[in-house]
Amino acid sequence: MRTQVAIIGAGPAGLLLSHLLHLQGISSVVLETRSRADIEATIRAGVLEQGTMDVLTAAGVGERMRKEGALHHGFELAFGGKRHRIDLHGLTGKSITVYPQHEVLKDLVAARLAAQGTILFEVSDVALHDVSTNKSFVTFRHAGEAQRIDADFIAGCDGYHGVSRPAMPDQATRQDYQKIYPFGWFGILVESAPSSEELIYAQHERGFALVSTRSPTVQRLYFQCDPADKVDNWSDDRIWAELHGRLENHDGWKLKEGKIFQKGIIGMRSFVSTPMQAGRLFLAGDAAHIVPPTGAKGLNLAVSDVKVLTAGLVEFYRNGGEALLQTYSETALKRIWRAECFSWTMTRLLHTFADATPFEREMQRAELENIVSSPALATALAENYVGAF
Ligand code: APR
Ligand code: PHB
């Protein structure tokens, strides 16, 4: 097989890249280890920045997002027994849409297949070859057969645990940056109506908590936990007691309970791997960077990487220009570091650090008080949250 761009991974980065290239007349083939059903069933966060909404709409895959997604003009910060609304739209003129990531994937897969795009699901043994030459190729197994794709470019969109980043040439000179947080998030999916119209990020001495949503009948809740803890240690009653304890205060608002149908613990880290390109191999999304979920930036960064990469590939195929491709890493990293900084800030501000001194706890509280009482600081937080940077 031959294509212009071989794309490894059918997550938001890989599928959106394939579709944006298609809209510019550039061919691609997407290789994915999991099945279509599996990727469309993995329920993941979906807080879409204005910029992401605009890219999906311009690519013709925004209809269901606009119909079924929930437009939020603000979110709440809860601490010290009070809730404070951050008026995103009032402060920045922009809003977010809550639309789960797997719904975005469903829309992208449907659009690719409707356009006769090639997505090979359930591949295995994916390996990248000669990526430092302009004769790069990918070998893999599909439907029990060994196969090969020759491509001008390879886009590594296969996430943190994929094969693309390890296949980057000059491993010795690569610079990785990492911070692993001493806590995780215990996440639940619940059958119930929403408890609040907007997301609630709560800082509490017992630890962070988050009220989020998936739909009018399915809610998503998280609380800070020991990353080494076990799901089985948490009965439903214990979970609800913890969430009520961290989220409710004296204003009468109550968290709605419901049937918990999924529980899980996720680790928290900040990670950036540079450079994001070498030879004809380009990394995008989680393959090159991870953010802790506190800033809701993961999906949005994957989309912004792909937007920058598409511009470079379009220039190359339009007029042979390589300027945008050569500066891909540098350009993408500008936004990535800002999102990493925001995600680290939100994590630092809202979680309880076991080794924090009483002075540091008061500093944390004072910083939160500053944000909710200073329009300038609230605006800075809001700009970062909606992605206006
Ligand atoms: N070959 C082919 N596909 C692979 C391989 C491989 N060797 N390894 C992993 N994959 C697939 C995974 O099964 C997954 O479907 O690559 C895809 C990577 O998708 P994501 O991990 O979703 O990464 P990305 O597209 O960069 O999207 C980032 O996803 O995890 C969230 O919070 C994250 O929202 C962010 C978004
Ligand atoms: C989620 O809905 O899962 C979610 C929302 C906002 C975050 C993180 C996760 O910051």
- Give the pLDDT confidence of 77-93 residue by residue, as tens digits: 999 999 999 999 999 99
Q: For ligand 2, atom 3, name the residue with the nearest CA.
A: 45
Average the pLDDT over 179-195 and give the result.
Answer: 97
CA gap 313, 325 in Å, rounded: 7
Q: Ligand 2 centroid to 69 CA: how many Å?
A: 14
pLDDT category of residue 188 using cuts at 50, 70 and 90: very high
Rounded Cα distance, 16 and 8, in Å: 12
Query: Which one of 196, 220, 300 would you pick to mutate in the ligand 2 pocket, going by the greatest count of ligand atoms within 8 A of its CB?
Result: 220
User: How far away, in angstroms, is 215 Cα from ligand 1 center?
Assistant: 23
Q: What is the per-residue pLDDT across 196-216, written as a single tens digit (0 to 9) for each? A: 999 999 999 999 999 999 999
Indicate which residues carry an active-site annotation: 72, 201, 293, 297, 385
Q: Does the pLDDT at position 250 exceed 80? A: no
Out of 42, 43, 47, 218, give the residue to mutate to test ligand 2, the one with the largest number of ligand atoms within 8 Å of its CB.
Answer: 47
